[in-house]
A and B are shown apart, each in its own frame.
Chain A
Amino acid sequence: MSELIRDFARLPQTWFETPIAAIALTLAAYFVGVRLFKLMRHPSWFPPVVIAALLIAAVIALLPIGVEDYNRGAAWLTLLLGPATVALAVPLYQQLPQIRALWRPILMTLPLSATLAACYALLIAWAMGAPPEVLASLAPKSVTSPIALSLTEELGGSTALLMGALMVTGITAIFGVEWLSRWLKIRDPRLIGLALGINGHALGTVRAFEISHQAGAFASLGMSLTGAFTAVVLPVVWHLFV
């Protein structure tokens, strides 16, 4: 009998020896997250992604496994992030005529917006006495995660803190764009999409696709251009000051 109980208690560890449990947990948490999000009547400050991440963290804390065990398994699922990024070529191509007509205003506003997205946060954190390691983790906060991760490593920041910063930034950007565009009476889906992509990286882009296909395409454009611009400019500017 006691042997049976011991085997039973060891079950969670054996589950996480293969990636299957981590993938199942991720999918289950995501669908529960989406359901809870609907039950709470779509709170823009608490998106399904965050609900699901909290649920997974709670399950990991309850089971006798570490977050590394989960990360190792979930990496098999997040491998799809590569082809999913390439797939964004489809909405981008569909909106190409619109983008071509607007290349001049986009080129005029985007570099400045991307620079401001990093500068405001850095100035506030610096004025409040944050050390260089924290500043290096916050600098790429509006950039899509694959670019942001390599940037923060180059500048000497913490990747875990960066992922947290990306999440808070994404939620704040979604909330901010919805609130401020209503206040400024902006209804143009291209503009809302661009603002979501520039400031809220992939989380903002996901939200933009929920609004409309066009908003999503402009958000992917804003996200990729902000990523490209920041990846080139940030390391140069950073090494001028640090």
Chain B
Amino acid sequence: MSIMRGLLWLLAFLLLGQSMVQLLPIPLPAGVVGMLLLTLWFVRRGKMNADVVAVSHPLIAMLALLIMPGVVEIFFVAGRYADQAGAILTALLVGTLLSVASSLWLMRRYMPPLNETDHE
């Protein structure tokens, strides 16, 4: 039952996020706003709700499974972009490798090493 109680909490915060997105000019999806609100609520209480922790582990483990159905459609419409395939693939492959390299370099340059942050 703990998992169902946790799920109810998640749904309540999702609805809260949905209402905020509709009422205020926030350009974010309801789920992300719900996540931030739930984090703030944990901060206010100073601890996490055990039911939410119980449901979060199986749900986070399922993330990859939940993304997958959205990917299926591209195999059926890929033909439409055949003449652009070279530009699209080069942009995605080279662009992503370049951006990974820049972000790793930037963060190594500006992030303090692991053991030093413990003293702050």
Q: Which residues of A are at the interface with B, using a C-beta cutoff of 8 A?
A: 22, 26-27, 29-30, 47-50, 52-54, 56-57, 60, 67, 70-71, 74-75, 77-78, 80-94, 96, 98, 101-102, 105, 108-109, 112-113, 116-117, 120-125, 128-131, 134, 138, 141-142, 144-147, 150, 158, 160-161, 163-169, 172-173, 176-177, 180-181, 184, 186, 188, 190-191, 194-195, 198-200, 202-203, 205-206, 209, 216, 224, 227-228, 231-232, 235
**A78-B69, A82-B30, A83-B7 given as contacts; is B112 within 8 A of A202 (CB)?**
no
Tell me which of A71, A77, A160 contacts B74 (CB under 8 A).
Answer: A160
Binding site for A on B (CB under 8 A): 7, 10-11, 13-14, 17, 27-32, 34-36, 38-39, 42-43, 48, 52-53, 55-57, 59-78, 81, 84, 86-108, 110-114, 117, 120
Q: Is the CB of A90 within 8 A of B48?
A: yes
Q: How far is the CA of A167 from the CA of B67 in the complex (A)?
A: 10
Q: Decide: A195 near B93, CB < 8 A? Known: A49-B68, A83-B59, A85-B31.
A: no
User: Taking chain A's interface residues, is the majority helix, strand, or loop, or is none over half, making it mixed?
Assistant: helix
**C-alpha gap A113/B13 in the complex (Å):** 30
Whether B68 and A52, one on each chain, are in contact in the complex, defined by CB atoms closer than 8 angstroms, is yes
Q: How far is the CB of B6 from chain A (nearest CB, A)?
A: 8
Known contacts A30-B65, A109-B107, A167-B71; decide if A93 and B96 are in contact (CB<8 Å).
Answer: no
* Nearest CB of chain B from residue A118's CB, rounded to whole Å: 8
> How many cross-chain pairs have Cβ atoms below 8 Å apart between A and B?
305
Contact partner of A165 among B48, B52, B88, B90, CB < 8 A? B88
Interface centre among B48, B68, B81 (most CB of A within 10 A): B68
A101 touches B120 (CB 8 A): yes
Query: Within 8 Å CB of B111, what residues of A?
Result: 102, 105, 109, 188, 190-191
Q: List 27 A-B contacts (CB under 8 A).
A: A48-B64, A52-B68, A67-B73, A70-B69, A75-B69, A85-B29, A87-B59, A89-B13, A89-B35, A89-B38, A109-B103, A116-B98, A116-B103, A117-B99, A124-B94, A130-B84, A145-B70, A161-B74, A163-B71, A164-B78, A167-B71, A172-B97, A177-B100, A188-B113, A195-B100, A209-B60, A224-B35
